[in-house]
Amino acid sequence: MFSNPVLQKEMRQRFRTFRTPLAISLYLLIIGGLYLGYLYLRWHDMPGYYQPGRGRDLFLTLSMVQLIMLAFVTPGLTSGAISAERERQTLNVLLVTKLTPMEIVAGKMISSCSFMLLLLLSTLPLYSIIIIYGGFSPGQMMGGLGFYLITVLLFGSVGMACSAFFQKTGSSTVAAYGIVCTIMAGTALLAGFIYEVGRVPGPGPDRIPLAVQLLLDLNPVLVMLRILGENAGIGQGRDLALPYWGIYTVFCLLASAALLAWSAARLRPSATRAGITWRQ
Amino acid sequence: MISAKGLIKRFGQTVALDGLSLEVEGGSVFGLIGPNGAGKTTALSILATLQPPDGGAALVGGRDVAGDTAGVRGLMGYMPDFFGVYDGLTVYEYLDFFAGAYRLPGAGRGRLIGELLELVNLGGKKDSYVDLLSRGMKQRLALARCLVHDPGVLILDEPASGLDPGARAEMKEIVRQLGRMGKTVLISSHILPELAEICHRVAIMENGRVTVSGTVDEVTAASSGARLIFIEILEDAGGLAGILGQRRGVCLAGSGGRWIKLFFSGSKEEQGMLLRDIMAGGYTVTQFHEVRRNLEEAYMAVTGEGDGRVQ
């Protein structure tokens, strides 16, 4: 994997410029500022007073802020991967080498995900503050980290596919944010709508439609809250054999694999003949 | 080495290539000339495996450009008309990246890159950042990139476009040297006199097809059925010009005090008769010879882009 020339070049370019430490600093500043601001608001009127439940609140807050940041940064990292090569007029010379389209896509994807992983790891000191207060288990923390990794993979793949489809990076970025926004909020809204439409008034527990269960399992916000032990969902009962995190993981992996394979197919010479390209 | 037969390429309603055919022999430098929109770049990008043709077939080194793209890419170096470079990479790293992309082993890359940089006169720029190089240097670096995997075939699309005269001369010399190294070079350009100097054969393209093809001399001759003839006499040329202007197969190109230039579309025998008739008319002919037309005039005649068209 590390012998991929595209990956080596991307890493070299990414970590050579001052923009990388600047991006890490900004990321930490925003996420740390929000977190520490929240911490101050919760404690400033009750000094010396300790409540174990507050540690849990902090953990949830930090995790939510992290997820929102991740949804902003990851598509932005990959939505220009291919389209920027087109705009810079470097794609053609790359395509006439012996590199396969999948190697090009994989090199760029791994490079972007590595950077995102670095951003996630750089927030560990903030988590260490929460550990002082307690209120969550190490398993939940590891589950949260695993959740972030597969979410980065999904959002990164969405950005990569948009980048392969659109000619301009601007269009690609807007489309990638639109799709990520739909995944983050649209799935929950649609689940709520389907549930309300199909709900039968009366006594007894509600029957949750399978589509609603699936949509809830695909929503990153709700999945993360459930990993962290919150009761985030609609009603009780479950018809699916896989647990919610299993459904989410399978969805992320399959969708990412399909999007990356499609992105690579877009780079093949016959793609412009067989497919559609959005020229804006 | 390069063979295209009846290539067709359409973009919507626009026909970019309309049955293009050409043959490039191994070890030769072949020039492709044509006005903007003639289809040169489309033809070269098809040969470089970047887009499939809608019809016809093309072989590079005996391999089908549509069916065996990996095979063609292994033995061909391609330099597009417009290209960018990567920010934040040195000249050495840039070439090292492409050496990796062509799967060259790590050992020996340093020596290879050094040799390539010497070939394109960038030996002193090894540690310079590529985005800070001048346009001429970037063009030469792109040429070095094309050569990194030692391909037998080079497809160069307008390699000298946008360069100053000095940089163009340098690029021309490098291409000439590549020809001496036995590379098969297919090059497109608008700078016709320079192409005429470095190409063994040329083809003029118009409306997606080759109009004329052959050696520079053949293309020059074929571009017009007429020969440009210069005549000098001791007498006043005005009277003779009036007589010759009425003669069949003659088109006056100009005349002065004692000279006349004319296009003559007859055979060599008829040309001899023309000289005999002038002398029989009492004129003392001091010069009577064909003026060799250059490739640029031939191009103008074929494409109708200038006054050189001879009816």
- As a whole number, mean pLDDT of residues B98-111 equals 89
Backbone angles phi, psi at A278, to 5 degrees: -85, 110
**For residue B9, what are the β-bridge partners?**
B17
Out of A203-212, B187-196, B214-223, B235-244, the most confident range is B235-244
Chain A partners of B49 at a C-beta cutoff of 8 Å? 96, 269
Token pair of A52, please?
């174990």
Q: What angle do CA A97, A113, A64 make, to 5 degrees?
A: 155
pLDDT of residue B219 exceeding 60, the answer is: yes
Token pair of A104, please?
């090009």
| CA atoms of B55 and B46, how far apart (whole Å) | 11
Using CB atoms, which residue from B80, B101, B142 is nearest to A98? Answer: B101
Q: Which DSSP state fits B129?
A: B
Sheet holding B76-79, edge to edge: B76-79, B153-157, B184-188, B29-33, B201-206, B209-214
H helix runs in A79-137, sequence order: 83-87, 91-95, 101-122, 124-133
| CA atoms of A124 and A140, how far apart (whole Å) | 15
Using CB atoms, which residue from A5, A89, A272 is nearest to B83? Answer: A89
Whole-number pLDDT of residue A53 = 65
- Which candidate, B57, B39, B22, B64, places its Cα nearest to that of B214? B22
Mutation for testing the A interface, residue in B98, B138, B145 having most A CBs under 10 Å: B98
Chain B partners of A8 at a C-beta cutoff of 8 Å? 97, 100
Whole-number pLDDT of residue B181 = 87
User: Cβ distance B43 to B78 under 8 Å?
Assistant: no
User: At A245, is the secondary structure helix, strand, or coil?
Assistant: helix
Centre a 10 Å sphere on the Cβ of residue A204 and count the other Cβ atoms it contains.
6
User: Cβ distance A222 to A233 under 8 Å?
Assistant: yes
Contact B86 A95 (CB under 8 A): no
User: Cβ distance B230 to B292 under 8 Å?
Assistant: no
Mutation for testing the A interface, residue in B8, B44, B103 having most A CBs under 10 Å: B103
pLDDT of residue B108 exceeding 80, the answer is: yes
- Residues 6 or more apart whose CB falls under 8 angstroms from that of A248 comprise A147, A150, A217, A218, A220, A223
User: Cβ distance B21 to B5 under 8 Å?
Assistant: yes
Lowest-pLDDT range of A120-129, A236-245, B169-178, B290-299? B290-299
Q: What is the pLDDT along chain A (280 residues), one digit of tens a residue?
A: 668 899 999 998 888 888 889 999 998 998 888 888 887 887 776 666 666 666 777 788 888 889 999 999 999 999 999 999 999 888 988 999 999 999 999 999 999 999 999 999 998 888 887 777 777 788 888 888 899 999 999 999 999 999 999 999 999 999 999 999 999 999 989 988 888 887 777 666 667 788 888 898 899 999 999 888 887 777 666 677 788 889 999 999 999 999 999 999 998 765 544 444 444 4
Token pair of B108, please?
């020996």
Whole-number pLDDT of residue B153 = 92
Q: Which helix (H) or strand (E) holds B206?
A: strand B201-206
Contact A269 B49 (CB under 8 A): yes
Using CB atoms, which residue from B69, B78, B100 is nearest to A269? Answer: B69
Write out pLDDT tens, residues B145-163: 999 998 999 999 888 877 7
If one compares A168 and B36, the residue with the highest pLDDT of the two is A168
B49 touches chain A (CB under 8 A): yes
Q: Which DSSP state fits A201?
A: P
| CA atoms of A124 and B83, how far apart (whole Å) | 42
| CA atoms of B70 and A101, how far apart (whole Å) | 12
Whole-number pLDDT of residue A275 = 44
Alpha carbon of B51: minimum distance to chain A alpha carbons (Å): 5
Alpha carbon of B268: minimum distance to chain A alpha carbons (Å): 50
Chain B partners of A89 at a C-beta cutoff of 8 Å? 80, 82-84
Write out pLDDT tens, residues B39-95: 889 999 999 998 888 888 899 988 988 888 888 988 999 998 888 888 889 999 999
Q: Which helix (H) or strand (E) holds A58?
A: helix A52-78
Whole-number pLDDT of residue A237 = 67
By DSSP bridging, strand B153-157 and strand B76-79 are parallel
**For residue B259, what are the β-bridge partners?**
B232
Token pair of A181, please?
């926004």
Please, what is the average pLDDT of chain B?
A: 83
| CA atoms of A45 and A48, how far apart (whole Å) | 10
Token pair of B303, please?
């494409």
User: At B63, is the secondary structure helix, strand, or coil?
Assistant: strand
Token pair of B165, please?
């005269």
A-B CB pairs within 8 A amount to 75
Which residues in A have their CB inside 8 Å of a CB on B? 3, 5-6, 8-9, 12-13, 16-17, 88-90, 92-99, 269-270, 272-273
- Nearest chain B residue to A18 by CA: give it: B88
Which bin fits B44, alpha (ψ -120 to 50), beta or left (φ > 0)? alpha
- Which candidate, A140, A150, A141, A135, places its Cα nearest to that of A123? A141
Contact A93 B83 (CB under 8 A): yes
B155 touches chain A (CB under 8 A): no
Q: Express as a percent the part of chain B with pLDDT over 70.
A: 88
Centre a 10 Å sphere on the Cβ of residue A186 and count the other Cβ atoms it contains.
16
Q: ipTM beyond 0.90?
A: no
If one compares B235 and A50, the residue with the highest pLDDT of the two is B235
Chain B partners of A269 at a C-beta cutoff of 8 Å? 49-52, 69
Q: Which DSSP state fits B124?
A: G
Mutation for testing the B interface, residue in A97, A100, A102, A268 having most B CBs under 10 Å: A97
Whole-number pLDDT of residue B223 = 58
Buried b (16+ CB within 10 A) or exposed e, B109-140: beebbeebbebbebeebeeebbeebeebbbbb
pTM above 0.90, yes or no: no
Centre a 10 Å sphere on the Cβ of residue B158 and count the other Cβ atoms it contains.
21
